[in-house]
Structure 1
Amino acid sequence: MTRNVLIAGAGPGVSGSLARLYAAEGGRVGLLGADADVLAALRADVEGAGAEALTTVADLTDDGATRSAVTRMAEQLGHVDVVHFNPSAYREKDPLSLTPDELLDDVRLGVGALLSVVQAARPFMGPGGRVTATGSMAADSPWHGAASLGVQKAGLQNLVRSLDRTLADDGIRAVSVTVRGTLAKEGPFAPDNVAVALRAAIDQDETDWQAEVPYTG
């Protein structure tokens, strides 16, 4: 089954691997990201895999701009089968140096932008649609040195659960994949392997659906 996929927060790591994975299945891939050069490289990868790629530079912390970008891309795709949410902000500050404004800025990207993306994509999604998100063990095992990341990932996991329950009656499900390890260039936590786990999460049996799936490598 080929799918139209919209990836928000597209970059060279896990989201790039996921884009290539869906492209290899023949799906059309829409890429929203902050860096034009990175998006151009990903587009070349997707097209090299034989799939069509659409790219848009977008500041995901800007609600209006994000909604407009998602709507334009979804209109080009025609319909959206999978929305993948990937962004997070890494700020190396502990709770005694992190300011409330910095925390809110980071949460706006790592959690709040999910609302902008999904709400804009929803009119283009039907039964069988899926929302996925890149989660992290920081949600329940945070490192104090980057305190905002743990808050983001905990909030993301919680929000995905709420989205899943809200969308389930319409046949759309949401899931976050909690990466319980440190991303690395090689090994079980290499981006390509994490992408396989994210891709597999959408094929869960709906009768036993889990809105949070751990990936332990």
Structure 2
Amino acid sequence: MIKNALIVGAGHGLSASLARVFAANGIRVALAARDATKLGPLCDEVNASAFACDVTHEESVNALFAALDEREEVADLVVFNTGYYARGPIEELASDTVRQSLETNAFGAFLVAQAAAVRMQGSGGVIQFTGATAGVKGFANSSPFAMGKFALRGLCQSLARELAPRNIHIVHFVLDGVIYEPARGAPYDNVERSLHPDRIAETYLAAARQHRSAWSWEIELRPSTEVF
């Protein structure tokens, strides 16, 4: 049974839906973001705790997990929901932008997975990662995002094979489509052609509860109208 969940890369949208769904199912929630001050309203809503964390810095990730250790709230479900999106033609891309995409989408995922796996030794747990279409199909003018998400998928596939024998369940989610967020306007405001964050969150929870005799290492989610 999942008791404590940590959502890394928290804010509005999917991460907020995850927090609400987890809390509604009796799971204590901790939220982490680079700017933890923005998490106040969500923390109040779901009775969560908030922590500042920059996933691209090892010291920051280690401090996050150490803080949970001190509170005796070691997470048995960790969700890596952090991402960095950058696009543009190859000849115009700034190297710093590409590096940031790799560090956030892939290296940050490694740091979080490492810290989580260390604490799940012996007891087991679940580590979930939010991926994207770009992790399985590279689009023109989107090489930084594709590089980061392809690396994330490779990390997850490797970890799933490595950690399953230790009762640590790795799940990579391919979100194939835009997430419903009406405030952003088109195409995010089309409920028929977008992924609803609450329904995504329900799938994350269901995956976390899978019996170890029938684990999924990767789950694709897309609206019924999405071409694939």
TM-score normalised according to structure 2 size? 0.84
Structure whose CA Rg is larger = 2
Counterpart for residue 139 of structure 2: 143
Q: Separation in 2 of the partners of 1:87 and 1:166?
A: 23
- Are the counterparts in 1 of residues 2 and 76 from structure 2 also a CA contact under 8 Å? no
Q: Separation in 1 of the partners of 2:84 and 2:59?
A: 20
Note if 1:130 corresponds to 2:126. Answer: yes
Instruction: Provide structure 1 residue ranges, at least 5 long, that are not aligned to the other structure.
Output: 48-52
- Are the counterparts in 2 of residues 15 and 86 from structure 1 also a CA contact under 8 Å? yes
Residue 191 of structure 1: CA displacement?
1.4
Note if 1:196 corresponds to 2:191. Answer: no
Residue 207 of structure 1: CA displacement?
2.9
Q: Separation in 1 of the partners of 2:211 and 2:36?
A: 37
Which secondary structure does the structure 2 equivalent of 1:162 belong to?
helix
Counterpart for residue 186 of structure 2: none
Residue 81 of structure 1: CA displacement?
1.1
Residue 128 of structure 1: CA displacement?
4.2
Following superposition, which runs of at least 4 residues in structure 1 exceed 6 angstroms of deviation? none
Counterpart for residue 226 of structure 2: none
Describe how 1:48-87 pairs up with structure 2 within 5 A. Answer: 53-87=48-82
- Are the counterparts in 1 of residues 68 and 74 from structure 2 also a CA contact under 8 Å? no
TM-score normalised according to structure 1 size? 0.88
- The number of aligned residues is 212
Instruction: Provide structure 2 residue ranges, at least 5 long, that are not aligned to the other structure.
Output: 182-190, 224-228
Which secondary structure does the structure 1 equivalent of 2:89 belong to?
coil
Which secondary structure does the structure 2 equivalent of 1:213 belong to?
strand
- Are the counterparts in 1 of residues 105 and 152 from structure 2 also a CA contact under 8 Å? yes
Residue 179 of structure 1: CA displacement?
0.9
Counterpart for residue 100 of structure 2: 105
Residue 2 of structure 1: CA displacement?
4.6
**RMSD, aligned CA:** 1.9
Instruction: State which of 127, 151, 155 in structure 1 corresponds to 2:151.
Output: 155
* Cα deviation digits, residues 66-88 of structure 1 (max 9, x gap): 11112212432433210100111
- Are the counterparts in 2 of residues 183 and 191 from structure 1 also a CA contact under 8 Å? yes
Q: Separation in 1 of the partners of 2:52 and 2:143?
A: 28
Q: Separation in 1 of the partners of 2:72 and 2:49?
A: 9
Identity %: 31
